[in-house]
Structure 1
Amino acid sequence: MHHLGILPGLFDPIHLGHVEIAQTAFEQFSLSGVVLVPVNKDGVRNIASLRQRQHMVQLATNSYPSLSLFTPSSFTSTATACDYGVLIKNIRYSFSGIHLWLIIGAHEVDNLLQGDTRDLKNIDLLLWPRVGDRVNNAIHKCKARGLNAYALNPRKISPDSHTVRLAIRHMIADEGTLHPDVIRYIADTGLYLPGSEKKLQKVVTPSRYLHSLSVRETAVELAFIHQINPFKCSVAGLMHDYAKNMPLKEMQRIAKKHGLTSDKKTLRSGALLHGLVGAHLCKQKFGIRDEEILSAIRYHTVGRPNMTDVELCIFVADVIEPKRRPFEGLANIRQVARKSLRQAAILCLESARKFILASGEEYFTQSLDALENLINAASN
């Protein structure tokens, strides 16, 4: 007889702790496989939709032959994480002639026992611990109700998803916490991160909004190529033009009120001023405090000397994103960007200088300083 493990959860998001639990169950109890089932829970508002959570589970388990996503058509987003009887019925409907092992946290046992346990009589329970959980006590409670329960012993205690979401929001989650493909998905979509697509869409034109999404996508791609924090690049890429369509007088008012700049040329130009104002508004309205992100937004148009990797990533992504109108040298910059962000930034600045001087305008001093700084760094 085949033995199938069932691991239900919110998976908001799925992290490596979940994968460790499922893989440990597979190995420790010689199961035929383990299916992971994203569910909803009464009283809990999920950040990611059911479809998004299912997709993340798929990404996290693709490289594990023993693990898979379970999405029966009859198991809808209205099901709850505590309604294990409904879950078991759905599993039995989809998999006949197998023995089921329900994998849950020891902290969920009290909720489990509050419901109808008749559908759980012919299955086994595997209980995994969180910090402070008393698994043996939970096992005794189950056996007192006539249920078979066993302790699962993962190599490390799994963090809760709230802690993982906080790590993502603070942009410190890494491949020790999340599968690389899940990191990429979160960075591409902005899930759990500061900033807001909906609020951005309200203050910029439709074309500017699409440009911002495209810059985020390009910035995340460059971040993975050059091993830069993808979450920071995601946030800065999405929000870099937050103030772009603001009336110049309003930008000037904000800049003067908060002392963002005293440079007269900058104050006369929305193209130069929107990065400074945008960074200020992102800090005030969205609580973005990371200086690399704010600096990337602040200087994405003109650059500055000694730009960080995140700043370079946004500076270049803004120029090369796929929706950018073609100009001479763009194809070459795109190719160079995959090899060196600094060399790509040099080409971006040189191209901008050529265009501005040909228009009879004066090249911005800060941009010239940024260009000279990059050239000098490249020659050393």
Structure 2
Amino acid sequence: MGYDAFLEIDSWKNVKEVFKMAQFVVVNRNVESREMLKLIEEKCNKFDGEAIYLKVPNIEISSTEIRKRINEGKSIKYLLPDKVIDYIQKMTYIEEIDNMIHKIEQKLKEMLDEKRYIHSKNVLKAAIELGKNFNVDLEKIKIAALLHDCAKNLRDDELLIKAYKYGIIVDEIQKIQPFLLHGPVGAYLSKFEFGIDDEDVFNAIYYHTTGRKDMTTFEEIIYLADFISIDRNFEGVEEIRKKAFENFEEALLMSCNSTLTYVINRNLPIHPLTIEFRNWLLMKGGK
């Protein structure tokens, strides 16, 4: 323990018992002096104990300075062990994401109706559980899941207007079914309205309805979490939920097949991205 702390050992509870149970090692960053050694000896004599004095180099490292550098975004390399730095950075990152999520939730409450907001929270929960099985950034997964439907409550005309505003190429299927634009428009809203400038989050939101070939695992997690969230109650969803944690790829194919069945039964056009997504799943072995 530090020399200054050792001098205040009188304030400890049952200090005599502590001296009986252990031998103190007293360190000091300052120059050794006879007065200092004398005070250590006096404390030991007072409590019938022993202490070893250890002189260490006078390295100018202050916990106050370290906290200050962290708050200012400055490097703390060489001031702490690498593993400690990694842990601090991870905890700082998680705290920043938690604050960001709180702000997102407050804004979403203003943009979405209650049913859609609850769905978004449920997708977040499902995405976290799915994400635990993969090497993905769970903090980013939370953001993408929460924001995936941020444009869902926009009217068809509003979706088209925003699509043109953001330079989204609106295809013939989307002109007939503008609701399919809530993914692409939502991706741009996440970037420009919520300040989330992240490619993984952007693409996961953009393609969460249609899917696409060559989806990343990150995108697939959001796609499937949207499909199996606890508020969904369509026929076959329980089987897909179960399969999602047994065979992720097969669950994706089941979800895509379910979407196609829904669209075909209603005699609606199928978006080419969904067809490409299904064929890609089949080609890579989801069956």
Same fold, judged at TM 0.5 (above)? yes
Q: Which runs of 5+ in 1 are unaligned?
A: 1-24, 30-91, 100-125, 128-134, 138-142, 167-174
Greater per-residue strand proportion = 1
* Equivalent residue in structure 2 for 1:320, among 223, 228, 235: 228
State whether structure 2 residue 283 is matched by structure 1 residue 373.
no
TM superposition shift of 1:253: 1.0
State whether structure 2 residue 239 is matched by structure 1 residue 332.
yes
* Equivalent residue in structure 1 for 2:200, among 287, 292, 298: 292
State whether structure 2 residue 157 is matched by structure 1 residue 241.
no
Contact 1:320 1:333 survives alignment (8 Å):
yes
State whether structure 2 residue 170 is matched by structure 1 residue 262.
yes
Greater per-residue helix proportion = 2
- Name 2:252's counterpart in structure 1: 345
Q: Quick one: structure 1 residues 204 and 354, their matched pair in 2 at CA, closer, same or farther if it must change by over 3 Å?
A: same
Q: Quick one: structure 1 residues 200 and 165, their matched pair in 2 at CA, closer, same or farther if it must change by over 3 Å?
A: farther
State whether structure 2 residue 13 is matched by structure 1 residue 97.
yes
TM superposition shift of 1:328: 2.2
Contact 2:173 2:269 survives alignment (8 Å):
no
- Same amino acid, percent of matched pairs: 28
Q: TM-score, normalised by structure 2?
A: 0.69
- Name 2:136's counterpart in structure 1: 228
1-structure distance, mates of 2:171, 2:227? 25
TM superposition shift of 1:97: 3.1
Letter of the 1:279 counterpart: A
- Name 2:87's counterpart in structure 1: 177
State whether structure 2 residue 158 is matched by structure 1 residue 250.
yes
Contact 1:244 1:270 survives alignment (8 Å):
no
Q: Which runs of 5+ in 2 are unaligned?
A: 4-10, 16-25, 31-35, 44-53, 74-84
Query: Number of paired residues?
Result: 237
Contact 2:249 2:286 survives alignment (8 Å):
no
Q: Deviations over 1:168-220 (max 9, x none)?
A: xxxxxxx952699x79xx59x95044661100111000111111111111111
1-structure distance, mates of 2:88, 2:135? 16
Report the 3-state secondary structure (helix = DSSP H, G, I; strand = E; otherwise coil) of the residue aligned with 1:305: coil
1-structure distance, mates of 2:250, 2:134? 13
2-structure distance, mates of 1:296, 1:307? 9
TM superposition shift of 1:262: 2.6
Report the 3-state secondary structure (helix = DSSP H, G, I; strand = E; otherwise coil) of the residue aligned with 1:286: coil
TM superposition shift of 1:270: 3.9
Letter of the 2:275 counterpart: L
Q: TM-score, normalised by structure 1?
A: 0.53
| Cα RMSD after superposing both structures | 4.2
State whether structure 2 residue 216 is matched by structure 1 residue 308.
yes
Which consecutive aligned stretches of 4+ in structure 1 deviate over 6 angstroms post-superposition?
150-153, 156-159
Contact 1:164 1:177 survives alignment (8 Å):
no
1-structure distance, mates of 2:113, 2:56? 53
